[in-house]
Structure 1
Amino acid sequence: MYQDFAGVYDGLMDNVPYEQWAERLDTLIRKYGVSGPERDAEGVLDSEKNLVLDLGCGTGTLTELLYQKGYDMLGVDVSGDMLNIAMEKKEKSGSEILYLQQDMRELELYSTVGTVFCVCDSLNYILEEDELAEVFSLVNNYLFPGGIFIFDFNTVYKYREVIGNTTIAENREDCSFIWENFYDDEEEMNEYDLTVFVREEGEHFRRFTETHFQRGYTVEQMTGLAKQAGMTIVEVMDADTGQTVTEQSERVYVVAREQGKRRDS
């Protein structure tokens, strides 16, 4: 996934409010977390505590925005093509972000981190619940004592009632796409068939296709997996409104806290 599509991803996602998402993440980290550019009460900056991991970082847009807010950023993604674009942004901005190509189901860091966030429905790409449980366990393992995990996910309601079995098409000057959705209610699985036409030279366009699969999850499933991994649930909210989750919530934000480690362990 995200091979040819990586090259046009940012252009087709230009309607995503990344700045607003970065503000929300910063607010949640400052409210509940241990990370931050400020020094602690003893006047000593704990380097691990200030580390923030963008899990499923893609092309690094949010990673860069959080870096600009003063956090020491790491980015992990399974797609080398997406990370190549993130590295181009890093070179242009001069940031000191460390990017790692890893499958989040096999996450391996060199230290603990104060915060992990995984947004833009990255967790919906994990199709088996036992594999998702492993992701939560690994995140908890690498969280600094008292650190937080902020994640979002698309709900079953969104796939079944909003985008399932629909076709979305958009015609642009240099890039057009057809996005076909097929929802399997029994498996709670959504198939994305993407066909993209990219202008390469003059009036010549290159056509490519990619197929993506995402699974819908419920609040009960996601919070249950976080608790199973050893975390406590701090807050659950509707991602669009910032208010209480309803049956019509399409995307949900969850903040979970690591609670099992001691600082001297």
Structure 2
Amino acid sequence: METYETFARVYDAIMDDSLYDKWTDFSLHYLPKKKNAKLLELACGTGIQSLHFKEAGFDVTGLDLSGDMLKIAKKRSQEAGFDLPFIQANMLDLSAVGTFDYVTCYSDSICYMQDEVEVGDVFKQVYDHLKEGGVFIFDVHSTYQTDEVFPGYSYHENAEDFAMVWDSYADEAPHSVVHELTFFIQDEDGRFTRFDEVHEERTYDILTYDILLEQAGFKSFKVYADFEDKEPNDTSQRWFFVCEK
């Protein structure tokens, strides 16, 4: 996976803020009400969602692979008057984190796993670090999103101190996509430096996720679509899995 160094600096500027409220609302709808429940947020990035969860009353731990993003997350948490624990680790190995009532993994972070073996490994790690009766919620791109929506997608953003070009293409593996990101970021002298990043994502059909969750040990799971309490259809873009240990 490519370094998030540059991405961390402009990530918040390009991210759609309203999504954090949607992820929070969805989580609160499907997580059992429990006082001071311990919640692990995988792929927590710059910590905005972690703070949403903290403000909703959870005892939150954030985990991410990127030290750069976690530095921003820590600072953001302290500025908000909290001191949340943020752990730099790979979600393929959660041995350092203890056990939790709930685990979330949003923003299609599971789609960054290289193949279905890795996806299965993440599910097993989560299962092993959930308390009995614990709940795991994650979202992924639908196959419609990777096959129909993303290929040929192009997004350009111009701000005062940075510009960005984002192009997406279909990749070789089924239901996979490549995002090519080019940033122009202004330094203190007013000069712009160019940075290039490539993000590769892959999803699978719902049956594959079902099988992998079952193999990991989850006793029940339901699938929803696009932040709503409804089953996926042919044009749903984001699938949500709510899984119980």
**Would you call these one fold, judging by a TM-score over 0.5?**
yes
Q: How many residues were matched structurally? A: 243
Q: Per-residue displacement from partner, 1:98-150 (whole Å, max 9, x unpaired)?
A: 11100111112443110000010000000211111111011001100100100
Partners of 2:22 and 2:227 within 8 A in 1: no
Name the structure 2 match of 1:6: 8
Name the structure 2 match of 1:62: 49
What is the CA distance between 1:186 and its match in structure 2? 4.0
Q: How does 1:23-172 map to 2 (within 5 A)?
A: 23-30=25-32, 36-37=34-35, 50-172=37-159
Name the structure 2 match of 1:18: 20
Partners of 1:22 and 1:66 within 8 A in 2: yes
What is the CA distance between 1:224 and its match in structure 2? 1.6
Partners of 2:177 and 2:200 within 8 A in 1: yes
Name the structure 1 match of 2:165: 178
Q: Distance in 2 between matches of 1:199 and 1:14?
A: 22
Q: Distance in 1 between matches of 2:117 and 2:16?
A: 34
Q: Percent identity?
A: 32
Amino acid of the structure 1 residue aligned with 2:51: E
Name the structure 1 match of 2:178: 191
- Report SS of the residue matched to 1:105: coil
Q: Distance in 2 between matches of 1:217 and 1:243?
A: 20
> Which moves more between the two structures, 246-255 or 176-185?
176-185
Partners of 1:3 and 1:82 within 8 A in 2: yes
Name the structure 2 match of 1:248: 235
Q: Distance in 1 between matches of 2:126 and 2:167?
A: 33
TM-score by length of 2: 0.93
Name the structure 2 match of 1:41: none
Distance 1:228 1:170, change over 3 A: same
Q: CA RMSD in A?
A: 1.7
Name the structure 1 match of 2:210: 223
Partners of 1:127 and 1:215 within 8 A in 2: yes
Partners of 2:26 and 2:227 within 8 A in 1: no
Q: Which runs of 5+ in 1 are unaligned?
A: 39-49, 259-265
> Which moves more between the two structures, 89-98 or 145-154?
89-98
Larger radius of gyration: 1
Q: Per-residue displacement from partner, 1:188-212 (whole Å, max 9, x unpaired)?
A: 3211110011232464222211111
TM-score by length of 1: 0.86
Amino acid of the structure 1 residue aligned with 2:150: I
Name the structure 1 match of 2:191: 204
What is the CA distance between 1:165 and its match in structure 2? 2.9
